Structure 1
Amino acid sequence: MAQKEKIPVYSIGNLLQEPIPQAALQAEYFSAYLEKHYADLHRPHRHSFYHMVLFTSGEGTHTIDFDRFEVKPFQVYCMVPGQVHSWHFTAAVTGYVANFPDHFFRDFLFNPYYLERFPFFSGSSAESVFQLPAPLHEKVPALFEELIALAPDATASPDMNRVLLLQILLLMGNAIAGHPAKAIPEQKKMILHNLRRLIDVHYRSIRLPKEYADLLYITPNHLNALCRDLLGQTAGELIRNRVLLEAKRLLINENKTVAEIAYELNFQDNSYFNRFFKKYEGVTPDEFRKQFLK
């Protein structure tokens, strides 16, 4: 069977339209970025890189994994590779954009999971968007200006880019951590990070919380208690929501049939997938697709 067209997945090389070095960072004014790529950005698409946008003015909406947000000044959007999103602007927008690959800090910090310490890079759309606190309205744009000014200098060390970007992430992370709902022990946060990572890898084939608890070397009761405490939902709901999210991502691809999507998500048959989807979304997969396209 011929390969069906999928949701577009853009790399930094696609956007720059040229070969890129391993340590590539793309930093631009958002207005210039939008002018070059609007034909692609207003349709649902994915990135193979981390994508961060700070708006300083403008109006419109941004949809991340089917959650819609109103664009506001000094609002930050942070997305991880694989999330599906699209932009719809109703007025001219200004701001900054930074794109960087998942290995950007790996050798620099000797920690492949460093970015997971930041809640805005959790992969959850609800945590991806936040308002930049007033004390950072000058500091963060100034760092973006330095990033953009450094970009044309081919002789500059990639570590300069890393240091500037890391300052931005730490400033934002500290601002969010400064107003926590409650302090979360590092051990609990690590278990949650590991659970989310495992679900992302195995959600097609592993659907039972007990199996994830075994992979994490904890009891199912401990896992459920932790998920309820930190997320307000059970481990089973977290797994189910990941399956539903991928189903919706696949359904917006018109060239895939519902039966093909059911098979790809490892459902026993198409009717079981239809019942599952309608139970939790309130509509059938076909109805969801028609509503989205409309």
Structure 2
Amino acid sequence: MGKPDEVSIYGLYGEETPEDDLRFVHIEAISTRSTLYDWQIKPHAHHGMFQILFLAGGGAKVMIDQGLYNIVAPAVICIPGGTVHGFEFFPQTEGWVLTMGDSLLSAGQDSRVRELIHPLLIAPVVLPLSDSPKTVTLISSMLDKIEGEFNLPQPGRGAMFDWMIQIILLEIGRRQQPETSGTGQKKRHRKFQQFRTLLEQNYKSHWTIEDYATQLGMTTSRLNRLCRTMTGKTIGTVIQDRLILEAQRLLTYTNATATMVAFETGFRDPAYFSRFFKRRTGLSPVEFRKTQEQRSWASPSGAQS
């Protein structure tokens, strides 16, 4: 059986980025592309690319997977590779879009840096900054300097990109840290991020709870307690949520049939997949697709950022 047509994938909206450009960095003003498309950026994803949007003025209606957010500047948004997202910016919104290859974020980091940055690579972040003028000033300053380096290349530009991007991500990572900063909480947070990484790598293979626990060196009951502490959900629910999210992406942004979506998400029996989907969402795959067709964000065609 053929694979479903994919969600529109770009390095930059409307452009093909060479797959071997692993340390790719690009920065531009939000208005540069958005004004070409009446400030509306249709749902899409970036393969192997991580993106930071910083809103310095104005605002946007933001779609990330199945979530909709109304964001007023100042705010920062982090979008890991593969995440479906779209924007409807307020006219004249100001800020930057910074896009980089995933490998740029994982090379040469010590454990303390990875602990803060790694969670940003797994799940999207929408972070209002109206209560943090120091963070706004820092991120604005770094993005301005990155834009200067980008437009006027000088010796050591790659290193400058590395350092300034890490500063931005470390600042965002700090803001995302749990309020309780004791050693026990940090260990739980780190272990949960390890689980999230494994989940991203193996959810389509339908790993069992025991598989994840064994790989993490934990008992299933301890892993379940960890998930409840961090998310308020059981580990089984967290695993199923990830499968449902991927199925919803495919049903919303591709023309894949329910059977194709079932096989693409690792189900061997399409009928069982349909029952599973309805049990979790209250709708059959076909009914869910019809509801998504009513949404203005549903079409993946057109411009993307």
State the TM bucket, normalised to the shorter chain. Answer: 0.7 to 0.9
Q: CA deviation at 1:225?
A: 0.9
SS in structure 2 of the partner of residue 91 of structure 1: coil
1:34-53 CA-partner distances (Å, limit 9, x unpaired): 246x4997222111211100
Q: Is the 8 A contact 1:59 1:92 kept in 2?
A: no
Tell me if 1:213 matches 2:213. yes
In the aligned structure 1, how far is the partner of 2:69 from the partner of 2:39? 19
Q: How does 1:252-267 map onto structure 2 within 5 Å?
A: 252-267=252-267
Tell me if 1:151 matches 2:160. no
TM-score, normalised to structure 1, is 0.87
SS in structure 2 of the partner of residue 203 of structure 1: helix
SS in structure 2 of the partner of residue 124 of structure 1: coil
Q: CA deviation at 1:199?
A: 1.1
Cα 1:261–1:41 shift into 2, 3 Å: farther
Larger displacement relative to structure 2 (71-80 or 161-170):
161-170
Partner of 2:42: 43
Q: CA deviation at 1:155?
A: 3.1
In the aligned structure 1, how far is the partner of 2:118 from the partner of 2:198? 17
Partner of 1:200: 200
Q: CA deviation at 1:280?
A: 1.3
Cα 1:155–1:137 shift into 2, 3 Å: closer
Partner of 1:173: 173
Partner of 1:135: 134
Cα 1:22–1:124 shift into 2, 3 Å: closer
Larger displacement relative to structure 2 (230-239 or 204-213):
204-213
1:217-261 CA-partner distances (Å, limit 9, x unpaired): 211011001111122111111100000010011111342111111
Q: Is the 8 A contact 1:58 1:92 kept in 2?
A: yes
Q: Which amino acid aligns with 2:116?
A: R
Q: Is the 8 A contact 1:150 1:156 kept in 2?
A: no
Q: How does 1:88-99 map onto structure 2 within 5 Å?
A: 88-99=88-99
Q: CA deviation at 1:160?
A: 0.6
Q: Is the 8 A contact 2:45 2:85 kept in 1?
A: yes
1:248-288 CA-partner distances (Å, limit 9, x unpaired): 11111342111111122222322211111111111111111
Superposed CA RMSD in Å reads 2.8
In the aligned structure 2, how far is the partner of 1:152 from the partner of 1:218? 49
Partner of 2:248: 248
Q: Which amino acid aligns with 2:45?
A: R
Q: Is the 8 A contact 2:39 2:89 kept in 1?
A: no
Tell me if 1:109 matches 2:109. yes
Q: CA deviation at 1:8?
A: 1.2
Cα 1:6–1:215 shift into 2, 3 Å: same
Q: How does 1:48-67 map onto structure 2 within 5 Å?
A: 48=47, 49-67=49-67
Partner of 1:9: 9
Cα 1:263–1:100 shift into 2, 3 Å: same
Structure 1: gaps of 5 or more residues? none
Q: CA deviation at 1:118?
A: 3.4
Q: CA deviation at 1:119?
A: 7.3
In the aligned structure 2, how far is the partner of 1:169 from the partner of 1:35? 27
Q: Which amino acid aligns with 1:123?
A: I
Q: CA deviation at 1:77?
A: 0.5
1:147-195 CA-partner distances (Å, limit 9, x unpaired): 1011023333200111111122222333444x71564533322321221
Cα 1:290–1:90 shift into 2, 3 Å: farther
Larger displacement relative to structure 2 (234-243 or 267-276):
267-276
Partner of 2:31: 31
Structure 2: gaps of 5 or more residues? 295-305
Q: CA deviation at 1:124?
A: 3.1
Q: CA deviation at 1:2?
A: 5.7
Tell me if 1:279 matches 2:302. no
Q: Is the 8 A contact 2:59 2:90 kept in 1?
A: yes
Partner of 2:299: none
Query: Identity of counterpart residues, as a percentage?
Result: 24
SS in structure 2 of the partner of residue 86 of structure 1: strand
Q: Which amino acid aligns with 2:24?
A: A
